[in-house]
Amino acid sequence: MGFVVAVDGPAGSGKGTITKLVGEKRNLVYIDTGALYRCVTLYIIKNNIELDDITSIKKCLDSVNIEFKKENGQDLVFLNGEDVTKRIREKDVDELVSPVSHIVIVRENITTLSRKIAEGKYVIMEGRDIGTNVFPNADVKIYLDATPEERAKRRFKQNREKGINTPYEEILESIIIRDKNDKTSNVAPLKQAEDAIYIDSSNMTIEEVVNRVIEIIDEKKAN
């Protein structure tokens, strides 16, 4: 049977942090679809593939092997056997991941992979189109939002903690561009599902958001 919690929202809204914590507290498998797109983007960068070279991108998708592992309490992402947890969060990947995610063949591949990973499991999955496209029949749908300025502050802080020094202004500009691209995409655009519950986390602590999401999940399970 399984149970799916879909968390959608713009880049930097805290989806990854929140879904990971909720997953731990409610014993749900956390699936980071953003990391899947970032791995494909990194592979494209490493192999100097042009985004309009669909033949090469198709071959690239056949060659990409992505694994999620937990080591010493840390969630790690491996691309073809290499730990790329930090690498996929760097500036060049940040700038290209949105255009890559708009490529139809990439979107279809990751959507299929996401469904396969989640099949029969109790999962919490975050992304841009989880509740609208990947799992339109998800048991719980949440749209997590925050102002662009607040999201830029959070991303700036996260990057600093990871040793990535990108100026705040660059991050804010990137987020604004990303929002426009994601919301106007011809392929699975970012939007709130009609039956999704909206949460504006701009003035909420992480704990408050986690507790609100858990409350929504528990209410659904009780009904």
Model pLDDT for residues 99-134, shown as the tens digit of each residue? 998 899 999 999 998 888 888 888 999 988 999 999
126/30 Cα distance (integer angstroms): 8
- Higher pLDDT residue, 68 or 93? 93
Ranges of each domain in the chain: 3-222
Q: Would you tell me the crossing angle of helices 104-118 and 91-101 to the nearest 10 degrees?
A: 90
Structure tokens at 13: 């809204």
| The residue type at 40 | V
Element (H, E) at 4: strand 3-8
Q: For residue 3, which amino acid is it?
A: F
Cut 0.75: pTM above it: yes
CATH topology of domain 3-222: Rossmann fold (3.40.50)
* Planar angle of CA 124, 110, 155, nearest 5 degrees: 60
> What are the pLDDT digits (tens) for 3-60?
999 999 998 899 989 999 999 999 888 888 889 999 999 999 999 999 999 999 999 9
Least confident of 1-5, 73-77, 116-120, 177-181: 73-77
Burial-class residue 196 by CB neighbours within 10 Å (0-12, 13-18, 19+): buried
Residue 190 has pLDDT above 90, yes or no: yes
